[in-house]
Amino acid sequence: MSLWEYANPKKFMETTGWLLPWLTALTALTLGGGLVWGFFLTPDADRFGSTVKILYVHVPSAFIAINAWVMMLVTSLIWLVRRHHVSVLAARAAAPVGMVMTLIALFTGAVWGQPMWGTWWAWDPRLTAFLILFLFYLGYLALWAAIENPDTAADLTSVLCLVGSVFAFLSRYAVYFWAQGLHQGASLSVDRAQHVADVYAYPLWLTMAGFVFLFLTLVFVRTRTEIRARRLSALVARERKAA
Amino acid sequence: MSALLLRDLRLAVRAGGGFGLSLAFFLILAVLVPFGVGPDRERLALIAPGILWVGALLAALLSLDRLFQLDWEDGSLEALATAPLPMEGAVAMKAAAHWLTTGLPLVALSPVLGVLLNLAPAGYVWLPLSLLAGTPALSMIGAFGAALTVGVKRGGLLLSLLVLPLYVPTLIFGAEAARRGAEGLPALPVLLMVAAISLAACAALPFAAAAAIRVSLR
């Protein structure tokens, strides 16, 4: 029993097919529960009023936006090294999810920033880094869409993902050097003191888990779609050859 | 390698090359910006290093799509792939030719355009210096982007989209070095950062770009 068994599309389809209903239910439970808890059962904060509740969407979506790219980096590497198709299809499946999460984080940040900072947008390091991350997602998806041969596209997007990761990392430190920020530091942390009062932190952890499950569910569904699309195009190609 | 470099240089300088285009674009930008923001000398001096850096970046971007595209279309890229010269070397030479025909002239032209934009006196040293340190990175990153999109028909827009976020760190440090230099602040550490990005790009990206071209030629 090893992880690489799931590189077999058939095995992957079987396992995820069995896993998906449970994962969906878990997502609904944690995300729904966390959001209801956060939105309706916590008090308004002193200085922030009810805008504090944007936190429950903003923080998890930003967390997923970054980690979706990390996941794409890992799966792209696996594709380049071991040539498992499921791996690169998972990277392709994660990209739009990550991009939408980036947009959600930017949008909720703007909605929060307007009453709190008095501006929708500032060239703050964190905001800028997210805008650049959004451009990376956009370029990655555009490259996938532009190339017809699926294996060529997989190779080129994987190389882009590797090089892009280095530059995304570099950009993150470059923008910190370039501008002083309005954005506060990390809200949640496993090993350091909390910056968020417990009454807000517990539902936040729950929505974080909910977003992680949501991400997994969406990536599995999209990867399954990609695998089926591959099978379909293989069948069509075979028919055409036979005819 | 030198034969390839000379061939690319000749192609770029003779008719149909992108040699004059980038310089003309740089000139147009520097002439048009004062019309856009007004002739106020202090304001121009404030934005001069940043505008000239953005102009250099866009001018480099302008000529990128012909870096591999023409060789791809007439098959000489395939000939290069079968040549004894490794593809990494060929990519590095192509990027070097691109730099010699766009980056280096831009460096030479930047002090002249600095006059138009009322650049501060110290800027005449630091702006060309920062461009000299940063433009190799622009050419090399651009060559990587061009290698990724070589098989794409009319890939110019895609190329710009791919290269745009990759250019961000170089632009930030480059423009910052020029700005600090122009304002008399210590600019050397930032300049070294730009040079580090250039050197790292020239050391690592030929491999990524060559891998991309090999995939496209497969």
Q: Using one digit for the tens of pLDDT, what is the confidence trace for A134-163? A: 999 999 999 999 988 888 999 999 999 999
Question: Residue-wise over B200-217: b if at least 16 C-beta within 10 A, else e?
Answer: ebbeebbbbbbbbbebbb
Which of A132, A152, A155 faces B165 most closely, judged by CB atoms?
A132
Return the C-alpha torsion angle B88, B89, B92, B93, nearest 10. -150
Put simply, the answer to whether A139 touches B161 (Cβ < 8 Å) is yes
Which of B155, B169, B215 faces A152 most closely, judged by CB atoms?
B215
Global pTM reads 0.89
**C-alpha B210 chain-centroid distance:** 19
Whether B76 and chain A come into contact, CB under 8 Å, resolves to no
Task: Tell me the chain B residues in contact with residue A143 when contact means C-beta distances shorter than 8 Å.
Answer: 148-149, 158, 162
Residues 6+ apart with CB under 8 A from B108: B128
**Cα angle vertex A218, ends A214, A220, to 5°?**
115
Lowest model confidence (mean pLDDT) among A40-54, A179-193, B171-185: A179-193
**Among B151, B75, B216, B211, residue whose Cα is nearest residue A151:** B216
Q: What pLDDT was estimated at residue A5?
A: 78
The shortest C-alpha distance from B181 to chain A (Å) reads: 15
Q: What pLDDT was estimated at residue B69?
A: 83
* Interatomic CA distance for residues B2 and A159, integer angstroms: 28
Question: Residue-wise over B95-130: b if at least 16 C-beta within 10 A, else e?
Answer: bbbbbbbbbebbbebbbebbeebbbbeebbebbbbb
CA nearest to A159 within chain B: B208
The shortest C-alpha distance from B210 to chain A (Å) reads: 11
Q: What pLDDT was estimated at residue B63?
A: 83
**C-alpha B127 chain-centroid distance:** 15
What's A54's DSSP letter?
Answer: G
Which of A147, A163, A168 faces B151 most closely, judged by CB atoms?
A147
* Interatomic CA distance for residues B190 and B188, integer angstroms: 5
Please compute the mean of the pLDDT values over residues A193-203 and round it to a whole number: 71
Q: Locate B51 and state its tokens.
A: 């505008």
Put simply, the answer to whether B215 touches A156 (Cβ < 8 Å) is yes
User: ipTM score here?
Assistant: 0.88
Looking at residue A12, its amino acid is F
Task: Tell me the chain A residues in contact with residue B161 when contact means C-beta distances shorter than 8 Å.
Answer: 135, 138-139, 142
Whether B185 and chain A come into contact, CB under 8 Å, resolves to no
